[in-house]
């Protein structure tokens, strides 16, 4: 069976995508990309009165209505906006399936105009667009949107979550960090056979939103932290609060530690960086950590235990989905905590079959999307 790595989906767009004859226009090419990623459908809306230009990409409805954030950012072109929507929706399906949520994956992309003259009218137009899809897509907060925006959208549709009344702060990073923390606990148990994180050495790349909360959990358990970031204020905060050591951003791959936690950028695991790592575990929040699918195998061959990103960074999604389905905060917390057990199952299977954990996780998600 062909395994499509969401981490290499961006690469697939440029290198591995099916043959792309020169005469294909941008739209043809993107339809072929959607076909390649086994897409359900995507929808576009233009609203002259408000300036809305929106795309909703629905990857898979097999597990239930598709859920995914609504991104409001600048895009240089419609092609790039659509490509982003497809890539992100595809990844949402994997995150949802691997975490056993009763939802499919989707994403909405709003192409920010130079000026939004009336933000309420603009978001209401988007709300009507969501409503036209009859519940196949449930929208949520993402880059450029807030719980207050979701309140406006909710005037037009009930297929919305992350409203101010849902107890959502608009910042999913504490929940995401908790999921990564549970993954680190599982990896330490599996690889180092330790129940405690006391004295475990963790190198964190990026201590912004998720990295900060992850550092907080780890510090509370007695872990020793080395961190890097481009932002001086973020660094100072973790030094002062958690006694973290600081290294230069480029030196983070050479840190002698037990765990490398990428919490900044995608594609940081490539042939060059994997060679340099002195850790036995990689577990962090960044999306698409593997520059290419094959780098999961490279980590496996070096004996480094990799916790697949799309499984362990889904805490924010799990929280939103569980609350939308009328369950409690406690239930959401339990389900994020369950990442520990899903990951342990993947580690065990990978060990039995002598395969990369990334391969096992993708196969598991694909099975659940069939
Ligand atoms: P953020 O922007 O708050 O933090 C990222 C930090 O990385 C920033 O402080 C930035 O200065 C730093 N950084 C940038 N380039 C760096 C480099 N080369 N070396 C070291 N540090 C660098 O973002 P975030 O919300 O904390 O998310 C972190 C990662 O996790 C992103 O890849 C994001 O896509 C992913 N993610 C986040 C969430 C979430 O809930 N926020 C959920 C899933 C995945």
**CA–CA dist 339, 314 (Å, integer):** 9
> Region 27-55: what's the mean pLDDT?
93
Percent of the chain with pLDDT over 90: 87
Pocket test for ligand 1, best of 91, 170, 236, 263 (most atoms within 8 A of CB): 263
Residue 205, ligand 1, Cβ within 6 A: yes
Split at pLDDT 50, 70, 90, the class of 169 is confident
pTM of the model: 0.91
Looking at residue 7, its pLDDT comes to 42
Q: By the 8 A CB rule, do 20 and 30 touch? A: no
Q: Of these residues, 20, 95, 107, 275, which one is catalytic?
A: 107
Q: What is the 3-state secondary structure (H, E, C) of the chain?
A: CCCCCHHHHHHHHHHHCCCCCCCCCHHHHHHHHHHHCCCCEEEEEEECCCCEEEEEEECCCCCCCEEEEEEEECCCCHHHHHHHHHHHHHHHHHHHHHCCCCCEEEEEEEECCCCCCCHHHHHHHHHHHHHHCCCCEEEEECCCCCHHHHHHHCCCCCCECCCHHHCCCCCCHHHHHHHHHHHHHHHHHHHHCCCCCCCCEEEEECCCHHHHHHHHHHHHCCCEEEEECCCHHHHHHHHHHHCCEECCHHHHHHCCCCEEEECCCCCCECHHHHHHCCCCEECCCCCCCECCCHHHHHHHHCCCEECCHHHHCCHHHHHHHHHHCCCCHHHHHHHHHCHHHHHHHHHHHHHHHCCCHHHHHHHHHHHHHC
Q: Would the pLDDT of 352 be above 50?
A: yes
Active site includes 95? no
Residue 263, ligand 1, Cβ within 6 A: yes
Atom of ligand 1 nearest to the CA of 210: 26
Q: What is the average pLDDT score of the chain?
A: 92
Residue 313, ligand 1, Cβ within 6 A: yes
Residue 135, ligand 1, Cβ within 6 A: no
Residue 226, ligand 1, Cβ within 6 A: no
Q: Would the pLDDT of 6 be above 60?
A: no
Quick: pLDDT tens for 253-298.
999 999 999 999 999 999 999 999 999 999 999 999 999 999 999 9
Sign of CA dihedral 342, 348, 353, 357: positive
CA of 205 to the centre of ligand 1 (A): 9
Atom of ligand 1 nearest to the CA of 316: 40
Residue 211, ligand 1, Cβ within 6 A: yes
Quick: pLDDT tens for 286-334.
999 999 999 999 999 999 999 999 999 999 999 999 999 988 999 999 9
Q: Would the pLDDT of 177 be above 50?
A: yes
Residue 220, ligand 1, Cβ within 6 A: no
* Assigned token pair, 320: 């939103």
Split at pLDDT 50, 70, 90, the class of 15 is very low
* Assigned token pair, 54: 């929106």
Atom of ligand 1 nearest to the CA of 175: 40
Atom of ligand 1 nearest to the CA of 313: 43
Quick: pLDDT tens for 66-116.
999 999 999 999 999 999 999 999 999 999 999 999 999 999 999 999 999
Pocket test for ligand 1, best of 208, 217, 319 (most atoms within 8 A of CB): 208
Q: Would the pLDDT of 41 be above 60?
A: yes
């Amino acid at each position: 069976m062909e395994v499509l790595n969401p981490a290499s989906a961006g690469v697939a767009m440029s290198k591995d995508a099916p043959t792309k004859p020169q005469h294909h226009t941008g739209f043809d090419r993107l339809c072929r990309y959607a076909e390649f990623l086994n897409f359900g459908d995507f929808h576009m809306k233009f609203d002259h009165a408000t300036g809305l230009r929106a795309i909703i990409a629905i990857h898979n409805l097999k597990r239930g209505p598709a859920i995914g954030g609504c991104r409001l950012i600048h895009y240089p072109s419609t092609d790039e906006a659509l490509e982003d929507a497809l890539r992100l929706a595809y990844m949402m399906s994997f995150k949802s399936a691997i975490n056993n949520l009763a939802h499919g994956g989707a994403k909405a992309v709003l192409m920010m105009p130079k000026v939004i003259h009336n933000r309420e009218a603009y978001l209401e137009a988007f709300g009507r667009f969501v409503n036209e899809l009859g519940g196949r897509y449930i929208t949520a907060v993402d880059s450029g949107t807030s719980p207050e925006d979701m309140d406006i959208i909710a005037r037009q549709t009930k297929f919305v979550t992350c409203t101010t009344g849902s107890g959502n702060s608009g910042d999913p990073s504490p929940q995401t960090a908790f999921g990564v923390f549970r993954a680190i606990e599982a990896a330490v148990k599996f690889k180092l056979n330790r129940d405690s994180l006391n004295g475990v050495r963790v190198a964190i790349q990026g201590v912004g939103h998720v990295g900060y909360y992850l550092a907080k959990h780890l510090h509370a358990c007695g872990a020793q932290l080395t961190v890097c970031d481009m932002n001086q204020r973020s660094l100072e905060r973790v030094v002062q609060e958690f006694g973290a050591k600081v290294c230069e951003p480029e030196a983070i791959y050479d840190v002698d530690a037990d765990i490398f936690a990428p919490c900044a950028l995608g594609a940081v695991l490539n042939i060059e960086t994997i060679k340099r790592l002195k850790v036995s575990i990689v577990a962090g929040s960044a999306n698409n950590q593997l520059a290419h699918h094959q780098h999961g195998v490279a980590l496996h061959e070096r004996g480094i235990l990799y916790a697949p990103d799309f499984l362990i960074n889904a805490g924010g999604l799990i929280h939103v989905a569980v609350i939308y389905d009328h369950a409690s905060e406690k239930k959401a917390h339990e389900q994020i905590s369950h990442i520990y057990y899903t990951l342990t199952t993947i580690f065990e299977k990978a060990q039995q079959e002598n395969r990369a954990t990334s391969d096992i996780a993708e196969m598991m998600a694909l099975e659940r999307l069939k």
